[in-house]
């Protein structure tokens, strides 16, 4: 099982402000702030931002993305809307999708540096 993930950002203060707003519907809050990194999580940092000044935007075709669990479909939708309102781009609007093992409700965004982040909710079986 994965314990935590890190993404590179070009402007730590701007990205921390972006993610503070965007991750709130998912229940993730800013827990750790250091000169070169910020960590978000519920009880401990699970999602880290690491500053890389002067980095080029992330290429769209890297194939890499981070998926964060959302408590509800409404949280997925709020995550997506908040990202777009703060300068992120849509890379997949909120909606139902066929995941590998089951169906889910997910949305994909690109942050201001081009990192692809997904919010995903798996409904309880009927």
Report how far residue 102's alpha carbon sits from residue 123's, in angstroms, rounded to the nearest whole number.
Answer: 9
- What separation in angstroms does the CA of 3 have from each of 48, 66, 81? 11, 13, 27
Token pair belonging to 100: 């590998």
Give the number of other Cβ atoms within 10 Å of residue 99's Cβ.
Answer: 13
**For residue 80, with 0-12 CB atoms within 10 Å meaning exposed, 13-18 middle and 19 or more buried, which class applies?**
buried
φ/ψ of residue 92, rounded to 5: 155, 105
pLDDT band at 1 (very low <50, low <70, confident <90, very high): confident
What does DSSP assign to residue 61?
A: T
User: What is the tens place of the pLDDT at every residue in 9-48?
Assistant: 999 999 999 999 999 999 999 999 999 999 999 999 999 9
User: What is the tens place of the pLDDT at every residue in 45-63?
Assistant: 999 999 999 899 888 888 8
Among candidates 126, 98, 109, 122, which has minimal Cα distance to 18? 109
The predicted model scores a pTM of: 0.94
Domains of the chain: 5-53+65-121 (3.10.180.10)
């Amino acid at each position: 099982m994965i314990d935590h993930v890190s993404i590179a950002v070009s402007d730590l203060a701007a990205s921390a402000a972006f993610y503070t707003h965007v991750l709130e519907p998912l229940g993730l809050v800013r827990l750790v702030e250091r000169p070169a990194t910020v960590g978000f999580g519920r009880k401990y940092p699970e999602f880290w931002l690491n500053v890389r000044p002067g980095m080029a935007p992330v290429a769209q075709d890297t194939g890499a993305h981070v998926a964060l669990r959302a408590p509800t479909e409404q949280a997925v939708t709020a995550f997506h809307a908040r990202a777009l309102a703060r300068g992120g781009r849509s890379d997949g609007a909120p909606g139902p999708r066929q995941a590998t093992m089951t169906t889910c409700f997910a949305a994909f965004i690109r942050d201001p540096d081009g990192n692809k982040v997904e919010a995903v909710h798996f409904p309880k079986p009927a």
